[in-house]
Amino acid sequence: MSNMKIRVMPREAILDLLAPGSVGAEIGVHLGNFSARILKVVQPAKLHLIDPWTVFEDEGHENSWYGTKTVTQSEMDQRHQSVVKRFAAAPEVDVVRDFGAAAAAKFDDGYFDWVYIDGDHSYEGVTADIAAYAPKLKKNGLLLGDDYAMNGWWKRGVIDAFHEALATKEFNIEFKIGNQIALKKLV
């Protein structure tokens, strides 16, 4: 046997679950790097990029990518503008500057084929996003999440929120690799 190692990139693997021509949303866009991968690999009919691009001033978020110890509001505004510019030539992309849960009200129930949650990683933030987008998913739609792990400032926030979604029996686990998870909507 050779010493060849196979490296699996969990975030790339999750893209294989998303159908070409689908309608999806990424909650938590940051600089738009994963958004660009989604657009290139999945080629969705519509891709909604949702992020508030705002600094969180509470103590629980201070060390996050959008906390007061790591970024200024001016920098967040620049990040938003760079994402708008980056996707300006892509008519299938809709950049929405709003909190994930608040933006959900803009969409009809059963609208999305999939929603990828990578915004506020606190338990409260992930729970709010899941609750807001669960009805927006079609039957058999996918609720996907990043950072399904305990190694960040969010501790168990992402894990506990996704486990609670499973406990509702509205979802089954479709996929889990590394820090990525996908739940399939059953109803």
Answer whether residue 41 is part of any domain.
yes
**Domain CATH for 112:** 3.40.50.150
In a domain, 9, yes or no: no
How many Å apart are CA 28 and CA 41, to the nearest integer?
Answer: 19
Helix (H) or strand (E) run with residue 27 in it: strand 23-27
Domain total of the chain: 1
In-domain check, residue 127: yes
Neighbours of 111 (CB within 10 A): 19
113 sits in the region (left: phi over 0; alpha: psi -120 to 50; else beta) called alpha
Predicted structure pTM score: 0.90
Please indicate, yes or no, if residue 6 is contained in any of the structural domains. Answer: no
Distance from C-alpha of 22 to C-alpha of 114, rounded to nearest angstrom:
8
Contact 63, 56 (CB under 8 A): no
pLDDT tens series, the chain, 187 aa: 556 665 568 889 999 999 999 999 999 999 999 999 999 999 999 999 999 998 877 666 666 666 666 778 899 999 999 999 999 999 999 999 999 999 999 999 999 999 999 998 889 999 999 999 999 999 999 999 988 777 776 678 888 999 999 999 999 999 898 888 999 999 8
The answer to the question of residue 74 being in a domain is: yes
Amino acid 14 reads: I
- 60 inside domain: yes
Residue 10 counted as domain residue: no
> Helices in 87-141 by DSSP H: which ranges?
100-103, 123-133
Among 115, 83, 85, residue whose Cα is nearest residue 97: 83
- Residue 153's domain comprises 24-185
